[in-house]
Amino acid sequence: MTDNVVTTPGNRVRFPGISPRAYEHPVDRGALATLRTVPGFAQVLKAIAGFYAERGERLMALASAIRVGPTQYPQIDALRNECAEILDVVPVPNVFVARDPQATAYTIGMDEPFIVLNTGLVELLDRDALRAVIGHEMGHVLSGHAVYRTMLVRLLSLRTTLSWTPVSALGLRAVIAALTEWFRKSELSCDRAALLCSQDAAAVLRGHIVAAGGDPSTVDITAFLRQAEEYEAVEDIRDSLLKLRNVEHMSHPFAVVRAAQLQKWAASEEYRAILTGDYPRRDGESPAQNWSEDLKAAARSYKESFTNSADPLMRAFSDAGEAVSGAAGKVWDKFTGNNDG
């Protein structure tokens, strides 16, 4: 469905009622659907909720950081409200600026998520790139990612304390591993939310350059993106295995890989359709139907990435991806009675 395009005062397109499914990467949704089936997941979530009082975290932010508002970082406050308006996020989450040299940002909170920008990031980025970063974090809020990120952060700090809970230590490790794998995928989704808010692929890219440790004013963008191509095109399967090992315990995908993924989406028909107002709305979505579609879409996405990859290990997985995708569809069709192909 395509509505008349509505813009902000800055002439950026707004997306009233947009569903997060419009920008979520299919492997993010598939990983989240899988996460919810991990044995012990519900029990761990309940235990974590009981261990922490979220108000304590908000009080810590109030006591140790600067809450953005009309008289405190007013330019960032304007970006906060603009991004919330573009993605139709209500209520508008609070944003805090914390003294920390690391150039990072994050969203935390289960009941009332809030965003934290470190000074290392604020001092390095221009206004347009900051808009993209805030848009990225707004994507986490709209997708409900903050709940699971908060759960991961708390689990990592409470692994020893939670060893007595009904969930075994091995089960706890499985939940943490599943959460970490999902969180890496969720970053790809929210890079797309960043692009929807900024509507400027170069601005998002400057954030990726900073994440990689660079200064956007001195880094050659073409050379930076070429690094992603070289990383993808390794010819030795030993390098492929090293790539898998390197990413196993990371909470974020590699910055150059994220940059390449986002640039591909920026050039896609899917992104252009959203800009014209053709995107799924939150009203009328069916969770059961979404779950099945998420798993199928994730399988197709993995298959496509395997097929198009220059990595020898990924090419070897191509046929397996096709088999998994077909099997997932056949199993779902069997239980739903959908045999129309």
What's the CA angle centered on 77, arms 71 and 80, to 5 degrees?
A: 165
When pLDDT is cut at 50, 70 and 90, the band that residue 339 belongs to is low
DSSP for 70-127, written as a single string: TTBSHHHHHHHHHHHHHHT-SSPPPEEEE--SS--EEEE-SSS-EEEEEHHHHTT--H
d(CA 39, CA 42): 8
pLDDT surpassing 70 at residue 98? yes
**Structure letter (DSSP) for residue 2:** B
* Amino acid 213: pLDDT: 87
* Amino acid 95: pLDDT: 98
Average of pLDDT values for 6-11? 80
When pLDDT is cut at 50, 70 and 90, the band that residue 324 belongs to is very low
d(CA 200, CA 223): 19
Contacts of 101 (CB under 8 A, 6+ apart): 118, 119, 120
pLDDT surpassing 60 at residue 201? yes
pLDDT surpassing 80 at residue 245? no
d(CA 151, CA 109): 9
* Amino acid 321: pLDDT: 39
Which residue type occupies 147?
V
HSE-up (13 A, CA, CB side) for residue 47 = 20
Q: pLDDT, tens digit, for every residue of 297-317?
A: 555 554 555 445 444 444 444
Average of pLDDT values for 60-71? 95
Q: What percent of the chain has pLDDT over 90?
A: 38
* Low-confidence winner among 31-35, 181-185, 213-217, 327-331 (lowest mean pLDDT): 327-331
93 compared with 226, residue with greater pLDDT? 93
* Amino acid 326: pLDDT: 45
When pLDDT is cut at 50, 70 and 90, the band that residue 296 belongs to is low
322 compared with 288, residue with greater pLDDT? 288
Q: How many helices (H) and strands (E) does the chain have?
A: 16, 6
108 compared with 341, residue with greater pLDDT? 108
> Residues of 22-43 as b/e, b for ≥16 C-beta within 10 angstroms?
bbbbbbbbbbbbebeebebbee
pLDDT surpassing 70 at residue 123? yes
Identify which of 161-175, 237-251, 263-277 has the greatest average pLDDT: 263-277
pLDDT surpassing 60 at residue 209? yes
Per-chain mean pLDDT for the chain: 78
